[in-house]
Chain A
Amino acid sequence: MNEISSGPQDGHGPLYEGHGIVQIYNGHRALAIDNVTVMHGEVVCLVGPNGCGKSTLLRILALLEEPASGTLAVHGIAGRKDVTLLLQEPYLLNMSVYANVVLGLRLQHRMKGAKEAYVLAMRDAGFPEPFAFAERSPSELSGGERQRIALASRLILTPKVLLLDEPTANVDAKSARAVARAILKTRNGGATIVCATHDPALIRATEARTIRLGRTWDEEPSVTPDLEA
């Protein structure tokens, strides 16, 4: 069950407090974690082997789904619109790059100043010439470019909580550094970032706290959390 409290937004204190969170898909346990806490304004990286539930936990933190059991308290945000999640294999709609990047603003009726915001977000995502891409179709982009365009479409929203699922999985080293810089800039803007990753360089570059998830439920009937790395 999710509980959301708007509360005072002073940038301190816990943002997420989860207890005994378990998620089950088609009868199979996808995630089990005793306690998880994320503080306002920090960068947290979820690490662990494939299938340990990192993406599942991100979807729960994004308020896109509720856990099968356990509680998640969310403090200091108004609801799902304050949170945005970048999927591991992002989907770009069949429209121009510009339309894709400003889509979230359009959906939230925040189109005033969209062009300037587009330029900033694209630069933060590692595109020094944003309008060189504006009219291009997603089909003309490489995998790494698509990943960074999708990142720009999240950064433009200036979310209070930015959730990223393997943001450097499909990008080269230079683009990975751009992603790390974007994360730090977003954090410095007051946002909280939770990122599932296998990339130690990203963890180092963003000075992130790590939460290690493990598939402990395969071997043991009761779940042992291993939170702090």
Chain B
Amino acid sequence: MDYLINGVLAALALLADPDEATLSAIRASLISTAWAILVAFALGLPLGFVLGYCRFFGRNALRLVSDTLLAFPTVLIGLLVYALITSRGLLGEYGLLFSLPGMAIGQAVLAGPIVTSWTAQAVENLDPRCAGTLLTLGADRWQTAALTLWECRYAIGMVLITAFGRVVTEVGIAMMLGGNIRYATRTMTTAIALETSKGEFAQGIALGLVLLLIAFGVNIILAMLKRRGRV
């Protein structure tokens, strides 16, 4: 147990005075996650809203696909996106492999179904009287749709931070698409995996604590959103 206790003590010292490698891993994690969430929301939010709000042929099939993709294994996502961005792949000419944008693409594929399915669920769960009320107040079709989305804002905020939490703690995609390159694509999770395999617990635990802090912060925001969303 001594090595764990020593690791925690060294981690606390490292957090108090972080070195460049630790800061770089935190930075890489946050940048790739932010881009991934941005892309996932840009595509997943409108798609999820349409799936939850509109009634059209094929909607249930699309919901099923989206829900199934929630269980998409991260290594499989890594493999598929790797095939896409490798030098022989469709996007090979852009040099995305082993870069932060390449990692962000894979992580966006991971976050996309979360955003889509849970946005659709949030819209479906909204009180059906909401749309009727808006119509009786003189709203047109577009105003009704926009305000329905606005009414789901707390639930969508929860989708956002859930997706963020899922992506920032993910390791398979980051390892396969980022290549775990020091000071470049090494994230907190891949650094923890590497340092642990080397028997260097201090940096691993330090980064683990940062991840825990992020998870803690995310849960605090989640709890606040849940409270505010309760009418």
A-to-B contact residues, CB < 8 Å:
62, 64, 80-81, 84-87, 89-94, 103-104, 107-108, 137-139, 153-154, 157
Q: Taking A89-B129, A91-B130, A94-B231 as contacts, is the C-beta distance between A64 and B135 under 8 angstroms?
A: yes
Q: What's the Cα separation between A94 and B138 when bound, in Å?
A: 18
Q: What's the Cα separation between A64 and B132 when bound, in Å?
A: 8
Q: What's the Cα separation between A80 and B135 when bound, in Å?
A: 9
- Verify B132–A108 contact, CB threshold 8 A: no
Residues of B within 8 Å of A92, CB to CB, are 231
Q: What's the Cα separation between A162 and B151 when bound, in Å?
A: 25
B136 at the interface (CB under 8 A from A): yes
- Verify A139–B129 contact, CB threshold 8 A: no
Residues of A within 8 Å of B231, CB to CB, are 92, 94, 137-139
In the complex, how many residues of chain B place their beta carbon closer than 8 angstroms to a beta carbon of chain A? 19
Q: Which of B136-158 contact A (CB under 8 A)?
A: 136-140, 143, 147, 151, 154
B-to-A contact residues, CB < 8 Å:
127, 129-130, 132-140, 143, 147, 151, 154, 229-231
- Verify B136–A86 contact, CB threshold 8 A: yes
- Verify B132–A107 contact, CB threshold 8 A: no
Residues of A within 8 Å of B230, CB to CB, are 139
Q: How far is the CB of A199 from chain B (nearest CB, A)?
A: 21
Q: Taking A91-B127, A94-B151, A137-B231 as contacts, is the C-beta distance between A64 and B136 under 8 angstroms?
A: yes
- Verify B133–A80 contact, CB threshold 8 A: no
Q: Which 4 A-B pairs have the closest CB atoms?
A: A104-B137, A91-B129, A85-B136, A91-B133
- Verify A84–B137 contact, CB threshold 8 A: yes
- Verify A107–B139 contact, CB threshold 8 A: yes
Q: What's the Cα separation between A205 and B28 when bound, in Å?
A: 71
Please give 18 more A-B residue pairs, beta carbons under 8 A apart, in addition to A87-B132, A94-B231, A107-B137. A64-B135, A64-B136, A84-B136, A85-B136, A86-B136, A87-B129, A89-B129, A90-B129, A91-B130, A92-B231, A93-B133, A104-B138, A107-B139, A108-B138, A139-B230, A139-B231, A154-B136, A154-B137
Q: Taking A64-B132, A91-B133, A93-B147 as contacts, is the C-beta distance between A107 and B138 under 8 angstroms?
A: yes
Residues of A within 8 Å of B151, CB to CB, are 93-94
Q: Can you name the residue of chain A whose Cβ is closest to the Cβ of B127? A: A91
- Verify B136–A93 contact, CB threshold 8 A: no
